[in-house]
């Protein structure tokens, strides 16, 4: 599966990945990070239940 991360297409190591798994894979600290999928902010408590889809636009802001 491929996604658009910070305006770059990247291939994920799996066809099924949650936001939580993605953040761990990219090495982001969940305590200081905000995740947006297709422009919509995803609350931290929803990371484990929110799955990425093919060609989602992902952006991450850190405090």
The pTM assigned to this predicted structure is: 0.88
Q: What is the per-residue pLDDT across 5-50, written as a single tens digit (0 to 9) for each?
A: 999 999 999 889 999 999 999 999 988 999 999 999 999 999 999 9
CB atoms within 10 A of CB 26: 13
For the chain, how many structural domains are there in total? 1
Residue 25 is part of which domain span? Answer: 2-62
CATH number of the domain to which 38 belongs: 3.10.20.30
């Amino acid at each position: 599966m491929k996604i658009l991360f910070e305006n770059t297409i990247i291939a994920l190591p799996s066809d099924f990945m949650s936001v939580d798994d993605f953040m761990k894979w990219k090495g982001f600290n969940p305590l200081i990070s905000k995740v947006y999928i297709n422009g919509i902010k995803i609350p931290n408590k929803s990371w484990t239940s929110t799955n990425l889809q093919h060609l989602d636009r992902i952006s991450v802001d850190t405090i």
